[in-house]
Amino acid sequence: MTNKHYAIIGGGINGLAVARQLLLDFPDANVTVFEKETEVAMHQSSHNSGVVHAGLYYEPGGLKARLCRRGAELVKQYCTENNIPYDECGKVVVALSKEEEGRLDAIYQKSIANKVPDVSILTGSEIQEVEPNCIGTKALYSPRTAIVSYGEIARHIAQEIKQKNGTLVLGRKVVNLTEQYNKITVHFEGGDHYSQTFNYVVTCAGLQSDRLAANSGDIETPKIVPFFGQYYVIDEQFKSHVKGLIYPVPDPKYPFLGVHFTKRIDGQMTIGPNAFISFGRENYEGNKFNISDIYDFLTYKGFWKFSSKNMSAAIRELRTVLSQTNFVSEAAKYVPSLADVSVEPATRGIRAQAMESDGSLVDDFVIRKQGNITHIRNAPSPGATSSLAIAEYIVREIMTHH
C-alpha cells in the first residue's frame, strides 16, 4: 500500500471523514484534501440541525439505514474519545390524528427493523412524561437520538488528518478531474492543476457534487437542486418548554419533513426548518441571487416535473417563508404554550437535494465509481450522522486499492 496517492475533493465532514479513514487503514498512504474555502466545514457541515439521527425513517436494507445506524455509533464514540460535547436529549415523533397514527406505526416498524435502540410507542398521556408541554394522540420515542456540533467534529477531524501526516490544501477550487493510464490530475479554477497526480480520488463536493462529477466525465444525473431551510431560535425564557426534539409525522404528500423543535448543543431551542427553493447553492444569508444556479434548475426538466407534483407543498412552505407567525404556529400545533413565542433567525441551511430527470427526489445515498474516481452524488440528511460510516464504506467496500 505504500506510496499510493489519494486526493479527497471537499473539506466538509464527509470528505474529512474519508481522508481520516484512509489514514487509519493505510498509515503510509499519501492523502491530500482539497477545499475551495479558506477553512474546512464552511457549508452543509456547519449549517444543519446538529441531530445525530438514530435511523427511524429509512428503508430497511438501504444504504441510509445501514450507514446511519453505524454512523450514529461512530459519532458517539468519536465525541466520547475526543471530549466533544454530545447530548443524548431524545426525540419524539408526534401524531396529531388517527391518520398520522397509522403512519407512525409504519415508522415504528422500520425503526425496529433498523435495530434502533430503545424505541417505544407512547400514548397521548405518556407523551407528557417525556415532553411535559407537548400534545398529541400518540408518539414514537427515541431516547438515544442525540445532538452535536458537526462543525466542531469536522474541525477536530481536520486536525487529526494533519497529525497523521495528511495534507490540507485550502482556498483552491477544484473544477474537474482527468484520468489517464490510472493517474488522475486535479484541475483548479483558473486553468492550472495540482503538481502531482493521484492513484485514487474521492469527490465529496456536497452542493457542487453533480457539477464536479459531470465535468469529470460521470453521468449528468441526478442533478442537485438546492432547497434552503431556515431555523429560528426561540426566546431564551421559553426554551425550557421543550426538553429535546419534537418532530411531526412525515406526510407522504410532502417531499420534506415539516417544521419541528430541535435543541442545539449550546442549549438554545430552535424551530425549523422550512424547505423552499434557494436562489443560489451557497446562499446562506438568503439575500443573494446566483444566476447560473437559478438557470441550472430552471432549465432542468426534472425541476418542473417535481414542481408540478408538489404545488400544495410549495404553498405550505411559502407561507412559513413569508411569515414568522405562520412558522411558529406550525410548531405550536405540538407545543401550544409556545403559540406566541418570539423568535430570531438562526442558521440557514441549504439541502443539496439530488433530483432525477423525472422529478423524483433521490432518497438513498448515491455513491458512484468511475474508473479510480469515486463520487458521492447524494448524501443529504442523515449524511452528517453517517459521515464516519460513509467513509468506512467507501474506503473498505467501494474503492479497490491495488
Q: Which residues are within 8 A (CB) of 142 and not within 5 positions of it... i.e. 6 or more apart? A: 54, 56, 90, 91, 92, 93, 111, 116, 118, 119
Contacts of 248 (CB under 8 A, 6+ apart): 93, 94, 96, 257, 258, 259, 260, 334
Range from 1-5, 105-109, 211-215, 357-361 carrying the lowest mean pLDDT: 1-5
Q: Per DSSP, what are the bridge partners of residue 198?
A: 184
Residue 39: is its pLDDT beyond 60?
Answer: yes
Residue 295's pLDDT is 97
The vertex-10 CA angle with 6 and 11, nearest 5°, equals: 100
Query: Is residue 317 very low, low, confident or very high in pLDDT (cuts 50, 70, 90)?
Result: confident
Where are the strands (E) in 53-165, listed by range?
91-95, 120-123, 138-142, 146-147
Separation between Cα atoms, residue 276 and residue 256, nearest integer Å: 10
What is the C-alpha to C-alpha distance for residues 65 and 55, in angstroms, rounded to an integer?
6
Evaluate if residue 232 carries a pLDDT over 70.
yes
The Cα 376–Cα 213 span in angstroms is: 9
Q: Rounded to two decimals, what is the model's pTM? A: 0.96
Q: Are 263 and 372 in contact (CB under 8 A)?
A: no
CA atoms in the 13 A half-sphere facing the CB of 315: 6
Q: Are strands 30-35 and 5-9 parallel, antiparallel or unpaired?
A: parallel
Query: What are the tens digits of pLDDT across the range 123-176?
Result: 999 999 999 999 999 999 999 999 999 999 999 999 999 999 999 999 999 999
Say which residue the cell 466525465 belongs to: 217
Residue 287 has pLDDT above 90, yes or no: no
Domains of the chain: 5-47+151-222+363-398 (3.50.50.60), 91-143 (no CATH), 223-357 (3.30.9)
What per-residue confidence (pLDDT) applies to 120?
A: 98
Identify the pLDDT of residue 2.
57
Question: Could you please report the per-residue DSSP string of 356-384?
Answer: -TTSPBP-S-EEEEETTEEEEEE--TTTT
Q: Evaluate whether 3 touches 30 at the Cβ level (below 8 Å).
A: yes
Side chain identity, residue 76: K
Q: pLDDT-based confidence at 395, cuts 50/70/90?
A: very high
The 8-class DSSP code of residue 269 comes to E
Distances (CA, A) of 149 to 52, 154, 240: 10, 9, 20
Averaged confidence pLDDT in the chain: 95
Comparing 258 with 38, the larger pLDDT belongs to: 38
User: Averaged over 24-40, what is the pLDDT?
Assistant: 97
Pairing status of strand 276-277 against strand 245-248: unpaired
Other Cβ atoms within 10 Å of 370 Cβ, number: 16
- Which one is predicted more confidently, 330 or 3? 330
Q: How many CB atoms lie within 10 A of CB 54?
A: 26
Which residue type occupies 102?
G
- Is residue 237 within 8 A of residue 268, CB to CB? The reply is no
Starting from the edge strand earliest in sequence, which strands make up the sheet with 167-170, in order?
A: 167-170, 30-35, 5-9, 200-203, 373-378, 366-370
DSSP H helices, 217-342, are 291-298, 301-309, 311-322, 324-332
| List of residues 6+ apart from 58 with CB closer than 8 A | 64, 65, 68, 110, 114, 382
What is the mean pLDDT of the segment spanning 199-226? Answer: 97
